[in-house]
């Protein structure tokens, strides 16, 4: 969970740190840990169902609740994954 209200599930994990700007993400139910925290300065709207991956591809997230968030893994911005093209079913 992020200070901006976004929630996500880690679909591929690693040993690094997930943050919203400089604020470390917390498990759901730990909202008190964000006392006074706001989304990072580069926060964008993250939409339900979108997937994000770290630049080296070691960590992936699936957004389960949209909100404002500056997703970062070990300080590096995460990138939204593009949908895979499926073969046609001619």
Any idea where the domains of the chain sit in the sequence?
7-30+39-80
Q: What is the pTM of this model?
A: 0.80
Check residue 63 and give its pLDDT. 94
Q: Which residues of 69-78 are buried (b: 16+ CB within 10 A; e: fewer)?
A: bbbbbeeeeb
pLDDT in tens, 17-70: 998 888 888 888 776 666 667 776 778 889 999 999 998 888 999 999 999 899
pLDDT computed for residue 31 by the predictor:
66
Q: Do residues 42 and 70 touch, judged by C-beta distance below 8 A?
A: yes
């Amino acid at each position: 969970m992020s200070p901006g209200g976004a929630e996500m599930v880690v679909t591929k994990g690693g040993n690094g740190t997930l943050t919203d700007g400089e604020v470390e993400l917390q498990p759901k139910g730990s909202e008190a840990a964000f006392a006074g925290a706001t989304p990072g300065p580069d926060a964008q709207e993250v939409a339900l169902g979108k997937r994000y991956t770290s630049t080296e591809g070691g960590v992936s997230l699936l957004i389960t609740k949209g909100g404002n968030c500056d997703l970062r893994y070990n300080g590096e911005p995460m990138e939204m994954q593009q949908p895979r093209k499926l073969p046609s079913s001619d």
